[in-house]
Structure 1
Amino acid sequence: MNTLKIQIPEGFKVESFDEKSGTVKFAPLPKDVTERIKSIDDAVEELGENDLEVIELRKLQKAEIT
């Protein structure tokens, strides 16, 4: 058996390894919440437009405009 040592890229983990083809797939490591969310827009993107708090935020934003 031949051995090949590879360096896993920083911020990634091995997602899968196909022994037949030798293919290695990497997946990003989950980021800490303080790295993912830096603004209200980031929070809205994380929660989604159907989140109850996002819906309330949108109502408040509309009220400010009018």
Structure 2
Amino acid sequence: WLNGASIFVILAFLATIYLPVLQTLIKTVPIDLKGWLIIFSVIAVNLFLVEITKYIFIIKKNKKK
């Protein structure tokens, strides 16, 4: 269910940005390539930091055993 819900939310998000009817209703504008690059850069940095933090905590936990 989680995968299906995630896909639905992403599609709904894209629809509100790119479908003219929803753009008018919700007052959104399309995101250009520069905007998408910024979004994915922030996501990549966030993902990297979270994974490094998890790795550090796992190493510390295993050393205590």
TM-score by length of 2: 0.23
Structure in which a larger fraction of residues adopt strand: 1
Question: 1 or 2, which has the higher helix percentage?
Answer: 2
Q: What TM-score, normalized to structure 1?
A: 0.23
Instruction: Determine which structure has more spread, i.e. the larger CA radius of gyration.
Output: 1
